[in-house]
Amino acid sequence: MWLRPKAWSVHRAGILASLEQDRERHLVLVRYSSWHHPYNEWVYNGADIDGAKVVWAREMDAVRNRELLAYFKDRRAWLLEADAGPPRLTPNPVSAER
């Protein structure tokens, strides 16, 4: 029997719930593929971004990523490959270089 893969929103909710369970604060850089469907948006935050337990941001170029990581230096940084099957969350390699 063929099982339909989980919708992206179910994966996002699961990742968010997992990150919210520990004591740390998190920054998730989301990497989209070139074939990403624009309606499957992983990056959205509440009004108080600085106060949020988890902040979602699109991956940018290396310089801007470093600036973002510096701004959120008190957070654990992650890289989310949104279009991997299933979506893959790993520690952000740029933050590990520090």
Q: DSSP 3-state assignment of 9? A: helix
Residue 21 has pLDDT above 80, yes or no: yes
Residue 6, domain member (yes or no): no
As for how many domains the chain has, the answer is 1
Q: Quick: pLDDT tens for 82-91.
A: 999 899 999 9
Residue 90, domain member (yes or no): yes
Residue 13, domain member (yes or no): no
Q: Quick: pLDDT tens for 40-53.
A: 899 999 999 999 99
d(CA 54, CA 98): 21
Q: What percent of the chain has pLDDT over 90?
A: 76
Q: Which residues span the domain enclosing 55?
A: 23-96
Rounded to an integer, what is the distance from CA 23 to the centroid of its chain? Answer: 17
Residue 4, domain member (yes or no): no
Residue 33, domain member (yes or no): yes
Q: What percent of the chain has pLDDT over 70?
A: 90
Residue 17: pLDDT band (50, 70, 90) is very high
Q: What is the pLDDT of residue 37?
A: 85
Rounded to an integer, what is the distance from CA 48 to the centroid of its chain? Answer: 17
Residue 7, domain member (yes or no): no
Q: 40, 5 in Cβ contact below 8 A?
A: no
